[in-house]
Chains A and B, each alone.
Chain A
């Protein structure tokens, strides 16, 4: 009894229980539905911008989830669906932007910063050594 209470309490706290996706959207084929969910997690809701359409309650997110499912049922591949959305909304619609010349700085900035850090360490070590 105590365990059941504890489990229910933990489940209540779990934010993942809150689904934006509505029952009428879900595909009956669980394999296709899983594909739709995975794709949706990578698509940005342009109204709320920091949420994926899988998490968002906005009308646009709902429409995008539906269109993804329609295209999956039509037999379109994941890449084709992503390409369609990028064609309409641009790369920004992808939660993880691809590596292009425009996103070069975005992807490489952590490495550049680490590299600059190494240079600073190298020169300060060199300086302290020569001072010693």
Chain B
């Protein structure tokens, strides 16, 4: 009799507790953006076919050729846009990351003049920048929104993907440890 009476109440209270805890953690910003696992981790980095940003460079200099980078050590690919507010917030941390590894910038649906203003205002941590204006390259990389950052090892394999802006915590807890791991 007792069990019959208390079991439903117990289950109800447990459900309330679970919802309360998850709601509190959301309010505290712990789960600002749910991270979906990327199936690309452990696989070869897809090609980067981009429209060049700096048209004054010669054609060979303008192309972002991953093959040239692969083998020289790890590097990062950052998908961003001048119109994206979290990308502005991320800029100082990207600058810090550029002290560790070279970063290629992929400007998603952006315009040259606006991008130039963005880089002037928030800094330019990139070794190369190109546009992905039709979104095809982003889909090839499984990107679902800017900013998104990938770390590629010296063999050209994606070892980390971080959706959302890079913060102090992300640098400290996610990116730097994985760079240490691959003996940088």
A-B complex is real:
yes
Give how many B residues have a beta carbon under 8 Å from the other chain's beta carbons. 16
Contact (Cβ within 8 A) B39 A59: no
Select from chain A the residue with minimum beta-carbon distance to B142.
Answer: A88
Contact (Cβ within 8 A) B136 A89: no
A window 54-80: CB within 8 A of B = 59-60, 62-64, 66-67
Select from chain B the residue with minimum beta-carbon distance to A58.
Answer: B145
Query: Which has the most chain A C-beta neighbours within 10 Å: B40, B109, B144?
Result: B144
Knowing A46-B144, A47-B144, A47-B145 touch, does A87 contact B136 (C-beta < 8 A)?
no
Knowing A87-B39, A90-B36, A90-B39 touch, does A67 contact B142 (C-beta < 8 A)?
no
Give how many A residues have a beta carbon under 8 Å from the other chain's beta carbons. 15
Contact (Cβ within 8 A) B145 A88: no
Query: Which has the most chain B C-beta neighbours within 10 Å: A47, A60, A86?
Result: A60
Residues on A with C-beta less than 8 A from B38 are 89-90
Interface string of B1-40 (1 = CB under 8 A from A): 0000000000000000000000000000000000011111
B window 137-156: CB within 8 A of A = 138-142, 144-145
How far apart are A39's CB and chain B's nearest CB, in angstroms?
Answer: 14
B135 an interface residue at 8 Å Cβ cutoff?
yes
The dominant DSSP class at the A interface is: helix
Residues on B with C-beta less than 8 A from A92 are 36
B window 24-79: CB within 8 A of A = 36-40
Contact (Cβ within 8 A) A67 B139: yes
How far apart are A117's CB and chain B's nearest CB, in angstroms?
Answer: 15
How far apart are B133's CB and chain A's nearest CB, in angstroms?
Answer: 10
Knowing A46-B144, A60-B144, A60-B145 touch, does A88 contact B136 (C-beta < 8 A)?
no
Q: Which of B37, B39, B134, B135 contacts A88 (CB 8 A)?
A: B39
Contact (Cβ within 8 A) A88 B36: no
Given known contacts A63-B136, A67-B139, A89-B36, what 4 new A-B pairs fall within 8 Å (CB)? Answer: A46-B36, A46-B145, A60-B145, A89-B38
- 14 A-B contact pairs sorted by A residue (CB < 8 Å): A47-B145, A60-B135, A60-B138, A60-B144, A60-B145, A63-B135, A63-B136, A66-B134, A67-B136, A88-B39, A88-B142, A89-B38, A89-B39, A92-B36
Closest 5 CB pairs of A and B: A63-B135, A46-B144, A88-B142, A90-B39, A89-B142
